[in-house]
C-alpha cells in the first residue's frame, strides 16, 4: 500500500514512500501494543511522554523517521503521523534541508498531561513494581560484573566512564550512559543476564533505549557511575549491587515526578 507521507512532495521532509501500516508495536513491559486504527495517535502520546520524561531535550533533534520506525518496530507512516501530531501541538518543529528533521521545542505543552495519562495512566503501582524488578536485576548485573570482570572489561569500563563524564550535552550523555551500563553487563560474561538488562531498558524507556536525563540527573549520575566502576574494579559485589540499585532509582524518581505533575495538571 502506498500512502502519502508528510515527507513527500511539498512536505517538510522531501520525497518518501511509507510502508504498509499494519503491524502494531510490540508490548514494552508497562505498555501494551499500539492499536492499528490509532497507531499514529498512540505513538504521538508515547513520544510526548518521552519528552516529558526528559528522554529528549529542547533544541535536540529526534531520531530520523527510519531510525524511530526500526527502534519501535512500527512503520515509517506511523512515525510520520506521530511527528506531525507533535508538530501540530507545538512540541517539535519540522525543518527542511540537509540538517532537517524534527527538533524539540518544548518538553511540556498544553496537551502533555493528557498524553501522559493516556500512555501511563493508572500505572502507578505497576511503575513501582517494574522499577523494583529492574533495580533488583541491575543490582545482580553489577554484583556479577564485580565477581567476573577481567582486565579487558575494566579497560572498557574506564573508557566508557571517561566518555560519559566528559559529555558536552544531555543528548550525548544519554547515549554514553547506555554504553557504560552495557559495558557493565558485558562484564558479567552471561549473555542472558545482559539481554535481560537490555530488555528492561527498552521497557522502561518506551522502546527508545534512552534514559530520562536532565541536568540534575546528569550531575547525580556522574559520581554514581564513578562509584559503580570503582566497586566493580575492586571486586566488591555487595557495594556494586548497592550502587547500581541507587543509581537506577534516578529513573524511578523521574517517572514518579512526571506522574505527579500529570496528576496535578487540570483535566481536559
Q: What is the pLDDT of residues 130-165, one digit of tens each?
A: 899 999 999 999 999 999 999 999 999 999 999 999
Residues 137, 80 share a domain: no
Name the residue with higher pLDDT: 34 or 210. Answer: 210
pLDDT over 80 (residue 34): no
pLDDT (mean) for 111-122: 87
Same domain membership, residue 130 and residue 260: yes
Average confidence (pLDDT) over 167-178? 95
DSSP per position, 193-241: HHHHHHHHHHHHTTTS------HHHHHHHHHHHHHHHHHHHHT-HHHHH
C-alpha grid cell for residue 237?
Answer: 559485589
* Cβ 205 vs Cβ 166: under 8 Å: no
Share of the chain above pLDDT 90, in %: 70
**CA-based max dimension of the chain:** 60
Q: Residues 101, 64, 59, 103: is their CA dihedral positive or negative? A: positive
DSSP SS3 for 29: coil
Do residues 109 and 129 both lie within one domain? no
Average pLDDT of span 83-87: 96
Range of the domain at 219: 123-264
Q: What is d(CA 182, CA 93) in angstroms, rounded to the nearest whole number?
A: 32
| Residue pLDDT, tens place only, 60-78 | 999 999 999 999 999 999 9
Which one has a higher pLDDT value, 252 or 27? 252
Look at residues 121, 146, 179 and tell me which one is the last residue of a structural domain.
Answer: 121
Last residue of a domain, one of 70, 87, 121: 121
Asked whether the predicted pLDDT for residue 1 surpasses 80, the reply is no
- How would residue 123 be classed by pLDDT, with cut points 50, 70 and 90? low
Map grid coordinates 514512500 to a residue: 17
Residues 59 and 140 reside in one and the same domain:
no
Amino acid at each position: 500500500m502506498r500512502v502519502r507521507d508528510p515527507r513527500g512532495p511539498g512536505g517538510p521532509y522531501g520525497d518518501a514512500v511509507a510502508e504498509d501500516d499494519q503491524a502494531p508495536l510490540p508490548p514494552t513491559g508497562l505498555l501494551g501494543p499500539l492499536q492499528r486504527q490509532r497507531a499514529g495517535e498512540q505513538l504521538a502520546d508515547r513520544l510526548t511522554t518521552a519528552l516529558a520524561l526528559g528522554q529528549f531535550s529542547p533544541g535536540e533533534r529526534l531520531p530520523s523517521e527510519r531510525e524511530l520506525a526500526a527502534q519501535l518496530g512500527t512503520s515509517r507512516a506511523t512515525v510520520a503521523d506521530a511527528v506531525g501530531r507533535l508538530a501540530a501541538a507545538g512540541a517539535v518543529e519540522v525543518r527542511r534541508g540537509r540538517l532537517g528533521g524534527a527538533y524539540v521545542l518544548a518538553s511540556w505543552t498544553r496537551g502533555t498531561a493528557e498524553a501522559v495519562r493516556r500512555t501511563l495512566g493508572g500505572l502507578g503501582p505497576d511503575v513501582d513494581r517494574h522499577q523494583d524488578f529492574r533495580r533488583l536485576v541491575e543490582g545482580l548485573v553489577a554484583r556479577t560484573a564485580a565477581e567476573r570482570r577481567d582486565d579487558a572489561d575494566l579497560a572498557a569500563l574506564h573508557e566508557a566512564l571517561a566518555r560519559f563524564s566528559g559529555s558536552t550535552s544531555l543528548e550525548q550523555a544519554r547515549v554514553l550512559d547506555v554504553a557504560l551500563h552495557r559495558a557493565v553487563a558485558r562484564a558479567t560474561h552471561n549473555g542472558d543476564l545482559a539481554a535481560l538488562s537490555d530488555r528492561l531498558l527498552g521497557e522502561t524507556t518506551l522502546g527508545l533505549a534512552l534514559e530520562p536525563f536532565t541536568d540534575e540527573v546528569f550531575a547525580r549520575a556522574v559520581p554514581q557511575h564513578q562509584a559503580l566502576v570503582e566497586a566493580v574494579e575492586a571486586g566488591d559485589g555487595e557495594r556494586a549491587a548497592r550502587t547500581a540499585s541507587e543509581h537506577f532509582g534516578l529513573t524511578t524518581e523521574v517517572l514518579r515526578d512526571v506522574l505527579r505533575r500529570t496528576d496535578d495538571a487540570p483535566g481536559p
